[in-house]
Amino acid sequence: MCVNDVLCQGGRPLLFLDYLAAGRLSAAPIDRLVAGVVEGCQQAGCDLLGGETAEMPGVYSDSGYDLAGFAVGAVERTALLPRTDLMAPGDALLALPAAGLHSNGFSLVRRAVEAAGLDYLKDKAPFQPEAESLGAALLTPTRIYAAPMRVLLSVPGLITGAAHITGGGLPGNVPRCLPDGLVARLDTRSWLNITQPAAATAAWVALVGGVSAEELARTFNLGLGMVLVVPAGRRQEALELAAAHGHELLEVGKLEARGGVDGEGDDVRGSQVVLDGLESQLSAVMAQLTAAGARPAPPPSSARPLMPVGVLISGSGTNLQALLDYCSKPGAAAKIVLVISNKPGVGGLTRAEAAGVPTRVIRHTEFGSREEFDLAIHSTLQAAGVQLVCCAGFMRILSPRFVQLWRGRLLNIHPSLLPLFPGLHVHRQALQAGVRVSGCSVHFIEEEVDAGAILVQRTVPVLAGDTEQQLEERIKTAEHVAYPEALHLVATGAVARGQDGRLLWQESHSAGKQ
């Protein structure tokens, strides 16, 4: 993908430098990884420089690995793109089709696959039945556009701008190559259909995941991997040149003048990308997918209402942020409706306000007893309609009365693998005990500190020479995964606290309980 970014500047890829890190190099599929990089360099027409290969036990699992890299290219200063000074209303928008999702939007894809109840290996792709499996269809490699771009860029002035469609979709990427005064009007009827693999994939995600057209457009490429700006009088020249060299080039729209400022000084220009016919085209493709056997998402009226959640904090709010991020995603089962802090001016309040969540500060120092303070919080939570309370760095021990009022609806996260190391100075306890793994636990709160039924646990390694701060930071990364997972389990009704204090799992989830 970085080669495609070089091409958008009008450059010629010269070299690629790779970096491979693994928990154990002997367990990583190095031969296949390197072969893939070599094939990519061949498609890009660039050299592969020997990068770094690192074995990093403790950072990665034994079977885990990461592959990264970057490309270097060159372009004459006079040929640098985009040439916004040469663009004008009426210029043609042409596009190189995408092979698939091009490595973007997979969080949304996973949600859709889960909602559809499909298996990546065992099930076929309804949107691409000729593919070996659903997983193979979704992982179609990103297309490298070096060959067609080399042809088109060889003619001076033929291409005045190019946009590589990655994260953010067409609305987020096309404006990168446009001047402020022009709008890209794209006619989705010219390409968005079931025969276009990437477009059909995106439509399937919308169908089974219940994703809106606007969100879809801001997440996926919708079938266009590279959008090009061509002078109006040279549109046919570009189409014929690409065809003569065996490259498919689509005619997808044109540039128009953008609105300006009205008489009252307000900006009325709107978006720089207009997608004509998007709703109708998606509906047509989704109808064809439904006829082919794809199961649409249930209508919103049958969906479980979002559980209103209150969060108690005292500090910077990193776990609060993890919960806010979860609640903002499609498929979330909860909504944070109130954040309460016992301290003013803390970072967690800023995070909540940035997310548009109401906040309250209730200072414990203004009450005569712990129970009076807790009852003030209880009344505030009730007034906000809260049904579930999450303590996220709340540095107060809750009174028995408060715990009784919210029993079974009160969660906490603790930075150890309970029942090991409850209470304070947790990381010091772990290091002094010489344990080789630690982690975090999300649990229901009971009157006894850190003693409730455990919903989710996540582990991290304890490395030789670790300080308390190093271990704390490593565990925080696990906390930011575990807490949203536990919230989802409770909010969806997958698990609850039984009358005996033990976890009560719904039968459909009991096989996967931890």
Give catalytic residues, as residue numbers: 414
DSSP 64-125: -EEEEEEEEEE--GGG-S--GGG--TT-EEEEEEPSS-TT--HHHHHHHHHHHT--TTTS--
End-to-end CA distance of the chain: 38
Return d(Cα 247, Cα 143) in angstroms, integer.
12
Nearest to 482 by CA among 389, 414, 393: 414
Which of 429, 425, 430, 423 lies closest to 449 in space, CA to CA? 423
Helices and strands: H and E segment counts in the chain:
16, 18
Give yes or no for a contact between 71 and 15, defined as CB atoms under 8 angstroms apart: yes
Phi-psi region of 243 (alpha: psi -120 to 50; beta: other; left: phi over 0): alpha
Q: What is the DSSP letter of 252?
A: E
Q: Which residues contact 149 (CB under 8 A, 6 or more apart)?
A: 7, 96, 159, 162, 226
Token pair of 18 as six digits = 């790779």
CA distance 248 to 260: 36
Cβ atoms within 10 A of the Cβ of 35, count? 11
Using CA of residue 13, residue 17, residue 23, residue 26, what is the dihedral sign? Answer: positive
Give the pair of three-digit tokens for residue 141.
């490699």
Beta-strand ranges (E) seen in 150-272 are 161-164, 182-187, 224-230, 250-257
Can you give 474-502 as a three-state secondary structure string?
Answer: HHHHHHHHHHHHHHHHHHCCCEEECCCCC
* Closest to 491 (Cα-Cα) out of 216, 312, 306, 318: 306
Enumerate the H helices of 218-307 as residue ranges.
235-244, 278-291
The two three-digit tokens of residue 88, written as one number: 């004008």
Question: What is the DSSP secondary-structure string of 102-117?
Answer: TT--HHHHHHHHHHHT
Burial class (CB in 10 A: 0-12, 13-18, 19+), 147: middle
Q: Are 324 and 357 in contact, with CB atoms under 8 Å apart?
A: yes
Say how many C-beta atoms besides its own lie within 10 A of residue 164's C-beta.
Answer: 23
Residue 249 DSSP one-character state: -
- Contact between 310 and 386 (Cβ < 8 Å): yes
Q: How far is CA 22 from CA 25, 58, 63, 352, in A?
A: 6, 10, 7, 37
Q: Which residue has the tokens 């067609």?
A: 148
